[in-house]
Amino acid sequence: MSTDVLISGAGPAGAIAALVLARRGVRVTLVDRARFPREKLCGDTINPGALSILRRLGLERLTEGALPVRGMIVTGHGVTVTGEYEDGLQGVAISRRVFDERLVAAAAAAGAQVEEGVLVRGPVVETTTGAVLGLQLVTPSGTLERRASRLAIAADGRASRVARAAGLVRTHAGPRRWAVGAIFEGVTGLTEFGEMHVRAGRYIGIAPLPGGFANSCVVTADRKALLDRDLLVASIRQQPEIAPRFKGARMVSAITVLGPLAVETKSAGTTGLLLAGDAAGFIDPMTGDGLRFAFRGGELAAEEALCVMNEGWNGAHLRLGAARQREFRAKWRFNRSLRALAGSPRAVRAAGLFASLSPSALRHVIGYAGDAGLA
């Protein structure tokens, strides 16, 4: 079957882009090397702003069975700060294994052709102009195929084969961070708040999940620490405030390592190719807003693809880049500032004092971190 738009990567950005396009009558094919359901290292939290996008798209049902998330608890250097979203807003916590499978199914129900177990090796490039004409695929049977399309969208993650082959992505020089995470059963003291425990050289995230499970990960810039296979468990055990809560817990998933986390893009695409999701650039979203970036980034790529269908290319990748800057620039700056603050014990203590003296200001910060103003 011929296709207008070929999307590499069926994660949230790719699936949202496919769904939006299919609803508008575009012939769209969504391919992914995985078979769903599949495991994915993530904070497993959909913040209020991201939840509002699902609601607007009529997809809130995909979070059925999720746990409510009312805000964040942040600890570090002797300070504990609890921030609750204002005006009764909340996010939700749901396993990416569950949510991503539902989202792919929604894209298929909207009319997108979904092909699983397909490895994307890179773009098909016109030799004289450099324009992308489609994607090189390896089918489940092992056959190499050059699949043509009017345009392609790379939504295949921070290690995007397509974006890298097109020369659009580079790993950020520093600071580089790696995340190590797993799912646990039997963690005590979980609440309706996500948790971030900032420690010297690293931070530990804990999020409750449906069914009595908890997502826990440690993020560090210490590359040598990654040589320790027990880094996650050791990091937890070293914290007297956290360790007792894991005393009777059992790890129920494999440990996953992801990194380096920071990835930059030179452009949001090139002729014939648009980028979406982490393939368009990834910064460590310690505020839990990674899925909002993915959902909205998928929408923006789909909206630009629709323009291409009607008007031709005409610098679509440049318009997409400008749209992403307008949409995300302020939040990117906020996240970078927050990461810098988390790395300074003095700054964390000052933030704790500020929070105790001005709880309303803290709620505003927590709300901004959770994109509550967009809900």
pLDDT value at position 87? 80
pLDDT value at position 41? 75
pLDDT value at position 216? 93
The pairing of strands 28-32 and 144-148 is unpaired
DSSP letter at 198 equals E
Residues 162, 211 within the same domain: no
Q: What is the dihedral of CA 286, 290, 292, 295, to 10 degrees?
A: 180
The range of the structural domain enclosing residue 129 comes to: 5-40+97-173+263-341
pLDDT value at position 367? 67
Whether 137 is in a domain gets the answer yes
Q: Which two tokens stand for residue 341?
A: 């603050």
DSSP secondary structure of 313-362:
-SSHHHHHHHHHHHHHHHHHHHHHHHHHHHT-HHHHHHHHHHHHH-HHHH
Residues 101, 228 within the same domain: no
Residues 208, 308 within the same domain: no
φ, ψ (nearest 5 deg) of residue 39: -80, 150
pLDDT value at position 100? 96
DSSP secondary structure of 268-314:
SEETTEEE-GGGG-B---TTS-HHHHHHHHHHHHHHHHHHHHHH--S
DSSP H or E run through 207: strand 202-209
pLDDT value at position 343? 60
Domain limit, last residue, from 237, 258, 279: 258
pLDDT value at position 18? 98
Question: Do 271 and 130 touch, CB atoms closer than 8 A?
Answer: yes
Which residues does the chain have with pLDDT short of 70? 1, 77, 170-175, 260-262, 282-288, 338-364, 366-373, 375
Number of domains in the chain: 2
The pairing of strands 5-8 and 28-32 is parallel
User: The domain that contains 230 carries what CATH number?
Assistant: 3.30.9.100
pLDDT value at position 173? 58
pTM for the predicted model, two decimal places: 0.90
- Crossing angle for the helix pair 290-311 and 12-23, to the nearest 10 degrees: 40
Distance CA 72, CA 83 (A): 5
pLDDT value at position 230? 86
pLDDT digits (tens, 9 = 90+) for 71-83: 888 887 677 778 8
pLDDT value at position 271? 96
